[in-house]
Amino acid sequence: MKLTLFRKFLLALFLIAILPLILSSATLLFNLSATSGRLAEDITAATDKQASEALQSRARQVAEDVSQFLAQCENDLRLVAAISKDSSTLDSFYQSRKLEIWHRLEKNGQPVEESLFIPVYSSLELIDKKGKQRFVISSGRILPVDELKDISNQANTGFRSEDYFRKTASLKKGKIYVSHLTGFHVSKKEQLRGAQDSETAYGGKEYQGVIRFATPIYGSDNEFEGIIVLSLDHRHLMEFSQHILPGSVEKTLFPSYKSGNYAFIFDDEGWIITHPNYWDIRGLYPDGREVAPYTENTPLALIEAGRIPFNLDRAGFIHPNYPLAAAMARKGESGYLDTTNVGGARKVMAYAPIPYRTGDYRRHGIFGGVTIGFQTDQFHEPAKQAAAVIHNQMQSHLRRSGMILAFTALLSLLAAWRISRSITKPLALLTEKARDLAEGAEGVRVLISSGDEVGELAADFNKMADELEVRNRHILETLSELARSRETVTGERNFMEEVLNSISSAIIPFSPQGEMISINTKGIEILERTPLSGEKYSLIFADWPSLVQRIEETVAGRGEFGRKPDNWKRRCFDVGIFPIGAGMEQGFTVTLRDETEKERMREEMTRMDRFASLGRLSAGIAHEIRNPLTGITLLLDDLHDRADTDPESREMLGRSLEEIERVERLLSSLLSYASPPKSEFYTADLKQTIEETLLFFRKTCEKGGVSLESRIARLPELVFDPDKIRQMLLNLLRNALEATQSGGRITVTLERENESAILTVTDTGQGIPAPDLDHVFEPFFTRSVGGTGLGLSISQRIIEEHHGSIEVRSVEGEGTRFEIRLPLTGT
């Protein structure tokens, strides 16, 4: 048949109409297949990653909570070691430490939940140096004397084989011993008691174990006196993992072991120490022997009896990732792995180490680890549902496309082109949105309002996106809950900082490299500046060389930790250097307590006691000497006045009378010092009193060739005793004149400083030797020939009666300066 133009046109039209439709349908089918597969894979991967990271974050938070709880137990141990050891005080401490537990009971064959507060510690023991119990509180009851035991014999300990007394007794003062979990093993039969699994075993036997916290007690003579022991109740440790419900912010009373959705804690040796199945927890036989871990070689009799505690290091036959998780935790790393539990459930297991370095846990630096498991099938459920929806829609679309292809064979090029475009454009948009969703974008939706298969596919896509956002919101809520928990922990940390800031001593911790970590408010006040975090101690204490040297010697091992007195900037301090962690692994702490006022008060009380005793003694001596001295004076006067006395004897008698007069003056000074006249305080002009005294003394200075200068400011009138102030000033002026050679200068000034009057007397004399400066105010201390040594003592007493102070500064060979400070208000 001849191919006419009509036929060609029809053929061309047919080819133009059908070929694009066939090609577009094939392209659409290919894109849908690729998109559905990629979308399912991306959803699965994204869900796995998000859920695994959420589990890991939650495991870290629980590990941090356990670490802080252990630190609190150490603080409790230090507190009970420091307080009085009488039974009333120890019982009060024991009763004050309670926390809440949430557990289930059996009533009428049904589980009943109960929340109650129980003591944190199952027992508190005070043990003497020979290992004999002297005081024990166990399960809230103080044991009578006939129940106390000698626990140096391990057979007498609570679990028949414990050696915590020997280990603690060998520690130095302030060190702490922490044991591994100890308790009698609970077999599978004992927990289940006929129940099908642990989730339905309401009335089964519970695990009762302890972790011992112990520290040695030393007397004031550093002799070992015994140990103090706190036994942490294992039920409080179970609270950290027992109620975790993976994949949800809610808590559960008792987790489901069969589902694989539960958490447990293992120690640094790989033993499980908290678990829904109590037979998986490490334990002892009744005679104190340790129950061997469950391995591929465990005898069938032990398996049937349920004596199969779980050790991750020996559980590689169940899944190789169990020992890997324990090994990574010992390295201080967290993460997540795929595992299978004993029941055969496949799950993702997130793990995180519990940092801890005390007692038996120094070896690896961890208490153990926290694991949280979640069954993987639950992760993939949204992806499976989405893939099924996409597959069904693809099959439906394929059938309808065949019908459309047959129908559109009669349509024109424009109709074919329009149909192709109406299909490919929405699918391209769907592919783009699927990629955005796979990349984690939020609010991704396909806005297609058509009622065909593409519209249904878009609606299903939007529904799938809604479900994914709900899942993401749940995960974010879990993260928010973790964030709130972190805020709570942060608040507790801030509270501890406030407690440190309220302490009257400076507390400055440093890293092992000597860099400052923090400083409390008192430390900033003492240093009079705020050091930067990370600043070296050699810079912080640059103007305190003795402290820098002591720190260097202590850090280098040449000095000892502890407290020692030290002086800085004319102040007395009690300086302590203490290690942080064993062997100063975490650094050291410097404490500063200002003892200046206490030292000044002690010296003042000593001086006052000495002066009072000296005054009473001086008064008695003066009275006893004056009476016979008067008789001697009268006799010598009579001999001196006789006419028959030769000139030489008369001269000797005259000198004797002069010496007796000097003794009389000394006795008068003693009596005046011992029984000073009562001060008469009234309002007067201090400037006028000083100027009158200087006018009186100026002639005396001129005779000695010494110039007397003054700068006297006018001050408000104040209440004082002018006569005694005049006496005090004359004593200082006489001393200055005696110490100043001809041509020298004495300067007197009076000025106001805040609410005090400052009076100074300065000379350019020979000065006071440095060793004598601490004694110038002591009675009878003098370097002057013929002096009584009472002038400065009397002057100091006068100033103290006026509630003032007097200080002396002197440089030998240059001169001396006395500064008197009197309050302008009051007397």
List, for residues 6-18, the tens digit of each pLDDT value. Answer: 455 456 655 666 6
758: exposed, middle or buried (Cβ count in 10 Å: 0-12, 13-18, 19+): middle
Q: Where are the alpha helices (DSSP H) in 642-775?
A: 647-674, 686-703, 722-739
pLDDT attached to residue 112 = 86
**pLDDT greater than 60 at residue 343:** no
Report the b/e string of 692-710 with b at 16+ CB within 10 A. ebbeebeeebeeeebebee
pLDDT attached to residue 381 = 61
**In this structure, what are the phi and psi dihedrals at residue 231, rounded to the nearest 5 degrees?**
-105, 105
Q: With beta carbons less than 8 A apart as the criterion, state whether 799 and 792 touch.
A: no
Higher pLDDT, 667 or 483: 483
**pLDDT greater than 50 at residue 603:** yes
pLDDT attached to residue 72 = 97
Report the candidate in 797, 729, 716, 790 with the shortest Cα–Cα distance to residue 757.
716
Higher pLDDT, 326 or 194: 326
pLDDT attached to residue 6 = 45
Report the candidate in 755, 745, 764, 743 with the shortest Cα–Cα distance to residue 804.
755
Domains of the chain: 75-378 (3.30.450.20), 504-592 (3.30.450.20), 595-675 (1.20.58), 680-827 (3.30.565.10)
Q: Which of 142-146, 587-591, 693-697 has the highest mean pLDDT?
A: 142-146
Strands (E), 309-365: 335-340, 346-355
How is residue 480 written in tokens?
């928010």
**pLDDT greater than 80 at residue 140:** yes
List, for residues 527-536, the tens digit of each pLDDT value. Answer: 888 899 899 9
3-state class of 730 per DSSP?
helix
Cβ within 8 Å of residue 511, ≥6 positions away: 517, 586, 587
Cβ within 8 Å of residue 200, ≥6 positions away: none
List, for residues 414-469, the tens digit of each pLDDT value. Answer: 554 455 556 566 767 777 777 877 777 777 777 776 677 767 777 777 788 788 77
Task: Work out the pLDDT band at 726, boundaries 50, 70, 90.
Answer: very high
**pLDDT greater than 70 at residue 526:** yes
How high does pLDDT run on average in the chain? 83
Q: Please name the residue that has the structure tokens 């174990």.
A: 209
Higher pLDDT, 777 or 541: 541
∠461-463-466 over CA atoms, to 5°? 110
DSSP 8-state secondary structure symbol assigned to residue 290: B
List, for residues 694-717, the tens digit of each pLDDT value. Answer: 998 998 899 889 999 999 999 998
pLDDT attached to residue 100 = 95
pLDDT attached to residue 416 = 46
pLDDT attached to residue 423 = 59
pLDDT (average), residues 477-486: 82
**Strand-pair partners of 734:** none
pLDDT (average), residues 145-153: 95
**pLDDT greater than 50 at residue 762:** yes
Cα–Cα dist 311/275, whole Å: 12
Q: Which of 578-582, 617-621, 746-750 has the highest mean pLDDT?
A: 746-750
pLDDT (average), residues 340-359: 82
List, for residues 539-558, the tens digit of each pLDDT value. Answer: 999 888 888 888 888 888 88
List, for residues 184-232, the tens digit of each pLDDT value. Answer: 999 999 999 888 888 888 878 999 999 999 999 999 889 999 999 999 9
List, for residues 251-289, the tens digit of each pLDDT value. Answer: 888 888 888 889 999 999 999 999 999 999 999 999 999
Sign of CA dihedral 220, 222, 227, 232: positive
pLDDT attached to residue 382 = 61
How is residue 537 written in tokens?
């101690």
Task: Work out the pLDDT band at 338, boundaries 50, 70, 90.
Answer: confident
Q: With beta carbons less than 8 A apart as the criterion, state whether 540 and 568 touch.
A: no
**In this structure, what are the phi and psi dihedrals at residue 593, rounded to the nearest 5 degrees?**
-120, 120
pLDDT attached to residue 367 = 97
pLDDT attached to residue 473 = 79
Instruction: Provide the total of helices (H) and of strands (E) in the chain, helices listed first.
Output: 18, 25
Cα–Cα dist 81/222, whole Å: 15
Cβ within 8 Å of residue 277, ≥6 positions away: 188, 191, 198, 257
**Strand-pair partners of 118:** 99
Cα–Cα dist 8/29, whole Å: 31
pLDDT attached to residue 174 = 92
Question: Helices 722-739 and 791-801 meet at what angle, rounded to 10?
Answer: 150
Tell me which of 196-200, 754-758, 788-792 is least confident: 788-792
pLDDT (average), residues 284-295: 95
Q: With beta carbons less than 8 A apart as the criterion, state whether 58 and 479 touch.
A: no
